[in-house]
């Protein structure tokens, strides 16, 4: 049974067992409601303890019910029964108590948590708000400010922080059940006032609290509806009686759960759960990667090292000489120092990670490594030289990975005698922060090596996406189209600021020109030069970018790129120099063209990106549309709440995307044959996800 009852003297132990994460299925909700009735009708029982079998407390809603009409009994009614019981309930928490799971715990009179437990209300990350009292009860328990922080961020807190906030009563190092029993017996003697009957809390800072929070939220929410709706629900919980606040929260939840944004975020949720899965690897055991090494301690290499150390992996840095080695180790130290300074890492944790790191200037010192990741300069001959050296010193079975962004891993692997042990692992900068990892197998890559690459991504808490071999793989190939089309808009009279503002309004954290200035215009220039040497037609698409590079305007690092930057100020300022370069390229005109509205700019940039996504699918470079969505979200800042590039195209309609491309009458924007077929068949990209 999902819910079982066991007598323990004057207590009833209510055990939930609904593997794998004790999700709040209809059967579980029904079982809890029946348990309340049973306990209320038993005069020998004075209190109850709610415990969960397995690895976690109730971890949230049942994913199988996402998007489906709610089935009775509804969770608010179950929690109301728990809270209204005459005999107090105490929740024994371990693992995670998230979403509806935490709302259930809030309905209990007390909460005991095992250290390391995580408690949170992540609903805004799924495009909804808590729908069973979270926005109403939580501020009555921990105060308005702390509750607002938790609900608007969607981020969980650990048990220690939860106790400090007043969210849990007791934290225990072992099994929480004994302490929960003691707490339940104490509460039977002196039952606390239910949260629903406590006075409404007062927000800090007087009457400006809500206006200040709303202004901050609008500045960073990027068009998302759920955070603002959650803030409104929290305000209603403070300003209206409990029943009215509950009714308002539930109505808002039900309205949001059927929205396009909620559907998009559910799509991302399931895509992330399936990231790294590959049916061709069923039964394949990944090669080990306990002992790792990184060749090159620059910005990218240091970030990769930090990510490996955070996963608890012994890591060794190889550099060409002692000076470069010391500089690389210092960079890694700096990343940990920054994390400690920001409170994201304790000094003890930082020291434990540093203890896993060693350095060397001798390639032979990598002989015991399971995995070596090359992170040197993006030059084919430099990378081939590294692989040639590694081939001579690594043990049999050791995996050699290249972090190339654009080069063909097959050309790099040709320098070795064991291409079956070579794989591409494309990290994104900063590698210790960015969650995307493109995993690129060669035709010769052994299945257990590919399995290792995907398993490594999960071990690093990244989103691993398998990509085929083609210039730019998945993400950088779409980025190239995005930049090309953005620059073409400048040649038609748009300004960099207008284009960037339009894409920020769409939901990107920064526009294409701001992003280029941050990363450096020389990176794209190097790519164009490489393509030109190879005779690729994709090389000649950035005349303005080339002109800026020729003028020494490489972005923030030189004080100017598409924008001007003042000393100590990273904010972009419109540049008269860039405006003159654009005017010179366009030529003299009697009158400037009319300015494009933000929507028109978005309509110019997004369809070509979608079209390139379909080319990538048709060529087998990406296996599923949702993989492209994950790449764009986690590698390039595509707004998560729009579902990713391909999911967004489905929402706006593929027929409209195709029509927008055809309206341009541009040989560079001929619709992909795959896009044509889907439109003709009345299908969407999502129909390809199960292939």
CATH code of the domain covering residue 79:
3.90.226.10
Sign of CA dihedral 242, 243, 246, 251: negative
Q: Does residue 303 surpass a pLDDT of 70? A: yes
CA–CA dist 390, 574 (Å, integer): 48
3-state secondary structure of 37: helix
> Average pLDDT for residues 463-471, to the nearest whole number?
92
CA–CA dist 149, 123 (Å, integer): 13
> Average pLDDT for residues 301-310, to the nearest whole number?
97
Sign of CA dihedral 56, 61, 66, 69: positive
* φ, ψ at 301 (rounded to 5°): -60, -40
Is there a single domain that holds both residue 135 and residue 230?
A: yes
Q: What is the pLDDT of residue 538?
A: 57
Strand 357-360 with 399-402, pairing: unpaired
Q: What is the pLDDT of residue 378?
A: 86
Q: Does residue 469 surpass a pLDDT of 80? A: yes
**Within-domain flag for 579:** yes
Is there a single domain that holds both residue 492 and residue 622?
A: yes
The encoded tokens of residue 624 equal 């599923």
Cβ-based neighbours of 31, under 8 Å, separated by 6 or more: 1, 2, 3, 16
* φ, ψ at 29 (rounded to 5°): -60, -45
Is there a single domain that holds both residue 217 and residue 309?
A: no
**Within-domain flag for 274:** no
**Within-domain flag for 119:** yes
> Average pLDDT for residues 41-70, to the nearest whole number?
89
3-state secondary structure of 315: strand
Is there a single domain that holds both residue 383 and residue 479?
A: no
Is there a single domain that holds both residue 448 and residue 424?
A: yes
**Within-domain flag for 275:** no
Is there a single domain that holds both residue 350 and residue 226?
A: no
- CA 627 → CA 26, 267, 437, 631, distances in Å? 32, 11, 11, 6
Is there a single domain that holds both residue 533 and residue 646?
A: yes
CA–CA dist 232, 243 (Å, integer): 16
Strands (E), 106-196: 110-114, 118-120, 157-158, 170-172
Q: Does residue 217 surpass a pLDDT of 80? A: yes
* φ, ψ at 362 (rounded to 5°): -110, 120
Neighbours of 152 (CB within 10 A): 22
Is there a single domain that holds both residue 242 and residue 309?
A: no
Tell which of 432, 466, 500 closes a domain.
466
Cβ-based neighbours of 631, under 8 Å, separated by 6 or more: 436, 438, 465, 467, 474, 475, 478, 622
Residue numbers of the domain that contains 95: 3-258
Q: What is the pLDDT of residue 278?
A: 86
Is there a single domain that holds both residue 226 and residue 314?
A: no
Give pLDDT tens digits for 386-405.
999 999 999 999 999 999 98
Tell which of 448, 466, 484 closes a domain.
466
Match 């629903």 to its residue by tokens.
196
Provide the domain count of the chain: 3
Mean pLDDT of the chain: 93
> Average pLDDT for residues 639-662, to the nearest whole number?
96
Q: What is the pLDDT of residue 266?
A: 93
Q: What is the pLDDT of residue 265?
A: 95
**Within-domain flag for 145:** yes
Q: Which of 42-46, 101-105, 274-278, 379-383 has the lowest mean pLDDT?
A: 274-278
**Within-domain flag for 269:** no
**Within-domain flag for 287:** no
**Within-domain flag for 280:** no
Give pLDDT tens digits for 543-571.
899 999 999 999 999 999 999 999 888 89
Q: What is the pLDDT of residue 643?
A: 96
> Average pLDDT for residues 406-421, to the nearest whole number?
94
Q: What is the pLDDT of residue 593?
A: 67
Radius of gyration over every alpha carbon of the chain, rounded to an integer in angstroms:
28
User: pTM of this prediction?
Assistant: 0.90
What is the band of 528 on the pLDDT scale with cuts at 50, 70, 90?
Answer: confident
Q: What is the pLDDT of residue 444?
A: 96
CA–CA dist 452, 472 (Å, integer): 22
Q: Which residues does the annotation mark as catalytic?
A: 103, 123
Q: What is the pLDDT of residue 539?
A: 56
Tell which of 409, 435, 466 closes a domain.
466
Q: Does residue 179 surpass a pLDDT of 80? A: yes
Neighbours of 573 (CB within 10 A): 12
Is there a single domain that holds both residue 240 and residue 297?
A: no
Is there a single domain that holds both residue 451 and residue 386?
A: yes
CATH number at residue 329: 3.40.50.720
Is there a single domain that holds both residue 239 and residue 164?
A: yes
CA–CA dist 429, 427 (Å, integer): 7
């Amino acid at each position: 049974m999902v819910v079982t009852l066991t007598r323990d003297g004057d207590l009833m132990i209510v055990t939930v067992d609904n593997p794998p994460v004790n999700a709040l299925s209809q059967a579980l909700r029904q079982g809890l409601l029946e348990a309340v009735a049973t306990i209320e009708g038993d005069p020998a029982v004075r209190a109850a303890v709610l415990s969960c079998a397995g690895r976690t407390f109730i971890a949230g809603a049942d994913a199988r019910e996402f998007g489906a009409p709610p089935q009775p009994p509804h969770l608010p009614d179950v929690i109301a029964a728990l809270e209204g019981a005459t005999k107090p309930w105490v929740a024994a928490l371990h693992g995670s108590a998230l979403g509806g799971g935490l709302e259930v715990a809030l309905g209990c009179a007390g909460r005991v948590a095992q250290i390391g437990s995580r408690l949170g209300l992540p609903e805004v990350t799924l495009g909804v708000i808590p729908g069973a009292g979270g926005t109403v009860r939580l501020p009555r328990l921990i105060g308005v400010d702390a509750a607002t922080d938790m609900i608007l961020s969607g981020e969980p807190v650990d048990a220690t922080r939860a106790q400090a906030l007043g969210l849990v009563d007791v934290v225990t190092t072992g099994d929480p059940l004994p302490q929960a029993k003691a707490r339940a017996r104490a509460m039977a003697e002196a039952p606390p006032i239910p949260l629903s009957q406590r006075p409404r809390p007062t927000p800090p800072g007087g009457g400006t609290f809500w206006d200040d929070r709303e202004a901050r939220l609008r500045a960073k929410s990027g068009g998302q509806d759920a955070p603002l709706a959650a803030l409104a629900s929290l305000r209603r919980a403070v300003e209206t009686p409990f029943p009215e606040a509950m009714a308002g929260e539930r109505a808002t939840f039900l309205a949001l759960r059927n929205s396009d944004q909620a559907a998009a975020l559910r799509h991302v949720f399931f895509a992330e759960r399936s990231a790294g899965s590959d049916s061709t690897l069923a039964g394949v055991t990944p090669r080990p990667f306990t002992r790792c090494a990184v060749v090159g301690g620059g910005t990218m290499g240091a970030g990769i090292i930090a990510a490996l150390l955070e996963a608890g992996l012994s890591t060794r840095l190889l550099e060409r000489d002692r000076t470069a080695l010391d500089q690389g180790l210092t960079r890694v130290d700096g990343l940990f120092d920054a994390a400690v300074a920001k409170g994201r890492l304790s000094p003890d944790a930082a020291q434990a990670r540093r203890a896993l790191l060693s350095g060397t200037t001798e390639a032979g010192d990598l002989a015991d490594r399971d995995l070596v990741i090359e992170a040197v300069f993006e030059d084919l001959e430099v990378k081939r030289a590294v692989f040639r050296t590694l081939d001579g010193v690594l043990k049999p079975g050791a995996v050699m990975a290249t972090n190339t962004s654009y080069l063909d891993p097959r050309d790099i692997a040709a320098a070795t005698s064991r291409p079956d042990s070579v794989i591409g692992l494309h990290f994104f900068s900063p590698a210790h922060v960015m969650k995307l990892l493109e995993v690129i197998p060669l035709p010769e890559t052994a299945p257990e090596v590919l399995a290792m690459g995907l398993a490594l991504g999960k071990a690093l808490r990244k989103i691993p996406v398998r990509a085929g071999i083609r210039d730019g793989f998945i993400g950088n190939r779409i980025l190239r189209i995005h930049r090309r089309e953005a620059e073409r808009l400048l040649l038609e009279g748009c300004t960099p600021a207008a284009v960037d503002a339009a894409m920020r309004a769409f939901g990107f954290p920064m526009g294409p020109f701001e992003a280029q200035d941050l990363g450096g215009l020389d990176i794209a220039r190097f790519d164009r030069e490489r393509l030109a040497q190879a005779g690729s037609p994709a090389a000649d698409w950035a005349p303005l970018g080339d002109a800026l590079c020729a003028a020494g305007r490489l972005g923030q690092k030189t004080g100017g790129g598409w924008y001007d930057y003042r000393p100590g100020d990273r904010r972009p300022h419109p540049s008269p120099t860039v405006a003159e370069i654009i005017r010179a390229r366009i030529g003299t005109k009697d009158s400037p063209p009319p300015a494009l509205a933000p929507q028109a700019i978005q309509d110019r940039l997004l369809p070509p990106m979608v079209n390139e996504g379909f080319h990538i699918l048709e060529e087998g470079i990406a296996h599923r549309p949702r993989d492209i969505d994950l790449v764009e979200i986690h590698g390039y800042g595509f707004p998560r709440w729009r579902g990713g590039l391909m999911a967004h195209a489905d929402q706006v309609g593929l027929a409209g995307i195709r029509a927008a491309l055809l309206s341009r009458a541009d040989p560079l924007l001929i619709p992909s044959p795959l896009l044509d077929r889907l439109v003709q068949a009345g299908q969407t990209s999502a129909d390809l996800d199960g292939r």
